[in-house]
Amino acid sequence: MSENSEKFTVTIDGKTIQVDRGTTILNAARQIGGEVVPPAMCYYSSLKGSGGKCRTCLVEVSKGSEKDPRPMPKLVASCSTTVMDGMEVKNKTSERVVDARGGVVEFLLLNHPLDCPVCDQAGECKLQDLAFEHGHSKTRYEFQRREFDKIDIGPYIQLHMTRCIMCYRCVHTANQLTDKREHGVLHRGDAAEIGTFIEKSLENDFIGNVIDVCPVGALTDKTFRFRSRVWYTKPMDASCECSKCSGKAVLWMIGNDIARVTGRKDENGEVTDFICNECRFDKKELSQWKVEGPRKIERSSVISAGHYEQEAPAHTPLLNKA
Amino acid sequence: MSKKLLLEHIDVEGIRSYEVYRKQGGYQAVEKALKTLSPDDLVEEVKKSGLRGRGGAGFPTGMKWSFLAKPDGVPRHLLCNADESEPGTFKDRYLMEKIPHLLIEGMILSSYALGANQSYIYIRGEYMFVMRIVEQAIAEAYANGWLGKNIMGSGFDLDLAITPGAGAYICGEETALIESLEGKRGNPRMKPPFPAVKGLWQRPTVVNNVETIAAVVPIVNHGGDAYAAIGIGRSTGTKLISASGNINKPGVYEIELGLPVEEFIYSEEYCGGIKNGKRLKALIPGGSSVPVLPHYLVCKTAAGEDRLMSYESLADGGFATGSMLGSGGFIVYDEDQCMVRNTWNFSRFYHHESCGQCSPCREGTGWMEKVLHRLEEGHGTMEDIDLLWDIQRKIEGNTICPLGDAAAWPVAAAIRHFREEFEWHVRQPKLCLERNYGLVTEKKFEAQPA
Amino acid sequence: MNESRQFTPELLEEVNRIVSLFPEGKQKSALIRVLHLAQAHFGHLDTEAMDYVARLLHLNPIEVYEVATFYSMYDTKPVGKVKLEVCRTGPCMIEGAEKLVSYIEQKLGIKDGETTADGLFTLKSVECLGACGYAPMLQAGESFHEHLTEEKVDALIEEYRANPVANYMGLK
């Protein structure tokens, strides 16, 4: 491939693809899809400045580029390293990566409570998925785990720092979606925490999105907390007329009740349209929504255990027109 | 050319003041550079000198300067890293406290070379009393026309200010320093982009250590070739060494690179030997993060050659049998010191100083500290030693910034060279609280002079 | 808005001077030094003090909280008028930092991290202060006290008892 061409060729775990210049290794892997995609706990495509922190997406660059084929000495964060033409990357095929990733998962779980059965995020927790794939069944950490009290940051959002893995996504969300960020990262090292410093309720119209971007159960929707395990709900794509956001959401139904409203996520688990608080927390009547149909959920997900034989609640008037 | 280039006039009374500094030939390098050298000439001189970064990494300064991006119409900045915080290191403080104008003269020269018109010295907050001294010297330099607009009629403008941190080792990492100078938490940035392209306020930036910048003054005065003639091989010039621990004469010494380690420890001119007639047990030659060397690898390399105070010789043998010159934080341990306790102490330091951004460092440093404390207190197991090895291995190289490596290396080196002592702590849980293990192996002790 | 925190005109002038060291619009760079001033002036950085600094520098309060809680020199909780900060790292440990801390604990009747009942002294072990060749040592305000012995500590504590105000960090 010539140096001036628009596209770069990159090979990840033996699969080759052409991508635009400036594409990160992670996004190139996502374009290939499947097994070659490294996990990402902090990176979020739509959040500027995110990524690089969790180190789960570390990969081995076994060939730097066609021009300079030397391998990179250290593993690199695939979310923040851009591809070079002719680059060869090893993800799952690298023993170093598998070893380092196992280490990262252990570090992330070190201070994370292992009480998934009673966690509200169970079933849709990225850390749970990650630990299932890369973790060990036994912890080597025999010291006290850090614990925090649960706090309410506003009437609808609960923060449980004990579960936080410091991905910073919620901070980037507030930076980007709101005009005045009111929560952030306090203290440092393993004492660092997400917080408002003073007891404060986060009121911004779009602040509810921090729940959707949170990879673990640190930020949860109080209107939904423990109403149901997520796999007993049925997710339905729905939309509404909204002056603040696109109104494109997912309704998580229990029978004919809306248990929860979230944004729609793509195949990488990232929200495609950020929704406003009103849609998320206040529109809990079916009449307020136009239901489009069942949400497509990955078959491997526990959520797909919910059945779809009844396409949508029968009394939804708009559905019959479709 | 004298062997002392930075501390030549350190004992002259009143050298802290502008008048005395000037009388001793101060600011002549600025006069010379502004009148006879173009900025590119100056960069060339520094390249010729072979000067390498004195903060720890040892990267060639001239090359670092040549990486600076120079887009039209975008200001560039020179930042002086005076966030000296690596345990064992106190040379920059000494230099700034004793002879602040040397740093200011170096800042003028280096800013001129880089085309920077607004430069800053970032000093650790605990050195507030040193900041006052440097700030006073900056005011004197302004008053005498060495700073400000059109310096010495050359057309070159430079504003220089000093600004403090507030207690964070991590701000010695250059991108964390930049974040801190922007008034933020000292979280290191993801690289690329490198500071040379996007640094302070997203502008091209060079960050150099205090001693590196000060060394530019003698390089301009004597020429890059003359500087390169001092030292040994690729370790050119002189280096400030902060000597501490169990020695008779702790303090800051300027040495010509290539000085034998044995001479540095035992001669009266430098450390004056081990205190109280004790025997040497171990040495950390370059600040707490570099690997500790057991006594039998201090004066001789594994190959049996004399160990020299140079980048290459101290690193000889790699991490298996060598270490690093690092920042020149030279910590000497006598036979009474406990290596487990010392390693625990440094682990606590790195745990305390981790910014918490990336998971291996945030979680791993605290874990190592806890396991080491357990071992030190006699509650450890043999598996703990292997566990420690595994934790440090999973931190090293996998973090955003070098703090992860800095936390991992001392643990790795201590286990590598002093495993017997760790095991003794497990086997003798009561005894290890009463006394220290002593020297590792008497047999290996022959290499040491009587 | 709580207006209970206010700098003196001299301090405000100093804030302006510090801000002027940075380009227009980059006044956030003054934050760390201004927080030192605020801590020296108000005793510690409570929420009101931090909010005041945020207003002075046109910052969101959370930006100030984030910074104030990151750096180890800032106190967001009340401390004694004189902070005795004993270096405990590496070379200082070798030279007896732990004994020094115990001695001060005993002398002042407080534990590491505590403040005396009269609010005069806070004792705190801290990490490397860059005085490794002059160990053991402690920092009080802007001053380093090095090569410490028990006698020197006795004298020092008497001195600070007599004149605790001279000991504030950050004010000229």
Closest CA in chain B for residue C35: B166
Tell me what pLDDT residue A199 has: 79
Nearest to A239 by CA among A227, A230, A248: A248
The 3-class SS string of B231-296 reads: EECCEECEEEEEEEECECCCEEEEEECCCEHHHHHHCCCCCCCEHHHCCEEEEECCCCCCCCEEHH
CB contact under 8 A, B360 and A107: yes
Q: Indicate the Cα dihedral angle B76, B228, B219, B206, nearest 10°.
A: 10
Q: Order of strands, edge to edge, in the sheet holding B238-245?
A: B251-256, B238-245, B329-334, B280-284, B293-294
Collapsing DSSP to helix, strand or coil, B29 comes out as: helix
Which of C50, C70, C90 delimits the end of a domain?
Answer: C70
- Subunits with 3+ Cβ pairs within 8 Å of C are A, B
Domain at A7-102: CATH code: 3.10.20.740
Closest CA in chain C for residue A185: C66
Asked if A199 has any chain C CB less than 8 Å from its own CB, the reply is no
Tell me what pLDDT residue C169 has: 61
Residues 6+ apart with CB under 8 A from C12: none
Collapsing DSSP to helix, strand or coil, C132 comes out as: helix
Residue B116 to residue B90: CA distance in whole angstroms = 28
Give me the helix-helix angle, B100-114 and B210-222, nearest 10°.
Answer: 80
Residues 6+ apart with CB under 8 A from C23: B75, B118, B201
Tell me what pLDDT residue A312 has: 43
CB contact under 8 A, C60 and A196: no
Six token digits for residue B93: 């403080």
Collapsing DSSP to helix, strand or coil, A8 comes out as: strand
CB contact under 8 A, A55 and B356: no
Residues 6+ apart with CB under 8 A from C24: none
Contacts of B166 in chain C (CB under 8 A): 32, 35-36, 71-74
- Spell out the CATH class of A111-138+145-221: alpha beta
In a domain, C97, yes or no: yes
Low-confidence ranges of chain B (pLDDT < 50): 1-2, 442-450
C168/A275: higher pLDDT: A275
Residue A11 to residue A32: CA distance in whole angstroms = 10
In a domain, C56, yes or no: yes
Say yes or no: C129 and C89 in one domain: yes
Over 50: is that where the pLDDT of C114 sits?
Answer: yes
Over 60: is that where the pLDDT of A311 sits?
Answer: no
What does DSSP assign to residue A37? P
Residue C132 to residue C138: CA distance in whole angstroms = 11
pLDDT digits (tens, 9 = 90+) for A152-211: 988 899 999 999 999 999 999 999 998 889 999 999 999 999 999 887 888 889 999 999
The residue ranges of every structural domain in chain A are: 7-102, 111-138+145-221, 230-321
pTM of this prediction? 0.94
Tell me what pLDDT residue A299 has: 63
pLDDT interval class at A7 (50, 70, 90) = very high
Computed over every residue of chain A, the mean pLDDT equals 89
Residues A121-147 have a mean pLDDT of 88
CB contact under 8 A, A188 and B366: no
Residue C21 to residue C10: CA distance in whole angstroms = 17
Say yes or no: C26 and C93 in one domain: no
CB contact under 8 A, A182 and C62: yes
Tell me what pLDDT residue B53 has: 97
- Spell out the CATH class of B18-229: alpha beta
Query: What ipTM score was computed for the predicted complex, to two decimals?
Result: 0.96
Residue A105 to residue A55: CA distance in whole angstroms = 9
Phi-psi region of B274 (alpha: psi -120 to 50; beta: other; left: phi over 0): beta
In a domain, C76, yes or no: no
What percent of chain A shows pLDDT beyond 90? Answer: 75
Computed over every residue of chain C, the mean pLDDT equals 94
Six token digits for residue B317: 């043998």
Contacts of A80 in chain B (CB under 8 A): 190
In a domain, C3, yes or no: no
Q: Are A81 and A53 in contact (CB under 8 A)?
A: no
Residues A93-121 have a mean pLDDT of 93
Which of C24, C42, C70 delimits the end of a domain?
Answer: C70
Asked if B369 has any chain A CB less than 8 Å from its own CB, the reply is no
- Report how many domains make up chain C: 2
Six token digits for residue C68: 């104030």
Residue C113 to residue A144: CA distance in whole angstroms = 21
* CA pseudo-torsion sign A50, A54, A57, A59: positive
Six token digits for residue A226: 């423990």
Cβ-Cβ contacts under 8 Å between A and C: the total is 29
Find out whether the peptide bond into B250 is cis, omega within 30 degrees of 0.
Answer: no
Domain at B339-447: CATH code: 1.20.1440.230
Closest CA in chain B for residue C33: B164
Q: Are B448 and B299 in contact (CB under 8 A)?
A: yes
Collapsing DSSP to helix, strand or coil, A210 comes out as: helix
CB contact under 8 A, A198 and C70: no
Strand A234-239 to strand A290-294: parallel, antiparallel, or no bridges (unpaired)?
antiparallel
CATH number, domain of C18, equals 1.10.10
Tell me what pLDDT residue B450 has: 40
To probe the interface with A, which of C46, C48, C69 has the most A CB atoms within 10 Å? C69
Six token digits for residue B404: 């992860």
3-state DSSP: chain A helix, strand, coil percent, rounded to 5?
A: 25, 20, 55
> How many CB atoms are closer than 10 A to CB A48?
10
In a domain, C55, yes or no: yes
Residues in chain C: 172
Closest CA in chain C for residue B187: C70
The residue ranges of every structural domain in chain B are: 18-229, 232-334, 339-447
CB contact under 8 A, A185 and C66: yes
Contacts of B288 in chain C (CB under 8 A): 89-90, 128
**Cα→Cα distances C170→C43, C87, C127, Å:** 11, 20, 20
CB contact under 8 A, C128 and B87: yes
CB contact under 8 A, A182 and C66: no
**Domain extent at residue C120:** 82-167
To probe the interface with B, which of A190, A193, A194, A197 has the most B CB atoms within 10 Å? A190
Q: Which residues of C touch A (CB under 8 A)?
A: 47, 60-63, 65-66, 69-70
Q: Name the residue facing C169 among B128, B169, B243 (closest C-beta).
A: B128
Residue B17 to residue B102: CA distance in whole angstroms = 11
In a domain, C45, yes or no: yes
Over 80: is that where the pLDDT of C12 sits?
Answer: yes
**Fold for domain B232-334?**
Ubiquitin-like (UB roll) (3.10.20)
CB contact under 8 A, A187 and C63: no
In a domain, C89, yes or no: yes
Asked if B364 has any chain A CB less than 8 Å from its own CB, the reply is yes
Six token digits for residue A58: 């570390």
Asked if A197 has any chain C CB less than 8 Å from its own CB, the reply is yes
In a domain, C1, yes or no: no
Contacts of A184 in chain C (CB under 8 A): 62-63, 65-66
